[in-house]
Amino acid sequence: MPEQKQPMDPREVLKHPEQLRSLMNSPEVRQLAQLLNNRSGGHLQSAAEHAKQGDSAALQGMLDALSATQEGAKLIAQIQSKLNH
């Protein structure tokens, strides 16, 4: 049975700016951001600003709701796969 990799710690991604830049420009991340913004009624930017200030509840709620959908779960899995390579 193949060994499953543990998800990369998000803090580790920050130590690799080229990988982060590549990930942020990926079609999956752009599509995820668009879905989040559409589902939030255009409030993604506001939620991201709050998260930067330490209050990630709104952004986490958006991600949780989106991950419960088939499309969102698929995109999140694709992004996690890119992080773990």
Question: What tens digit of pLDDT does each residue of 40-50 get?
Answer: 899 999 999 99
Tell me what the mean pLDDT of segment 12-24 comes to. Answer: 79
- Which pTM value belongs to this model? 0.71
- With a CB cutoff of 8 Å and minimum separation 6, the contacts of 29 are 23, 79
Residue 73 structure tokens:
């779960």
Q: How far apart are CA 33 and CA 43, in angstroms?
A: 11
Q: How confident is the model at residue 24 (pLDDT cuts 50, 70, 90)?
A: confident
Report pLDDT digits (tens) over 36-84. 999 889 999 999 999 989 999 999 999 999 999 999 999 999 988 887 7
Q: What are phi and psi of 40, to 5 degrees?
A: -95, 5
Q: How far apart are CA 31 and CA 84, in angstroms?
A: 19
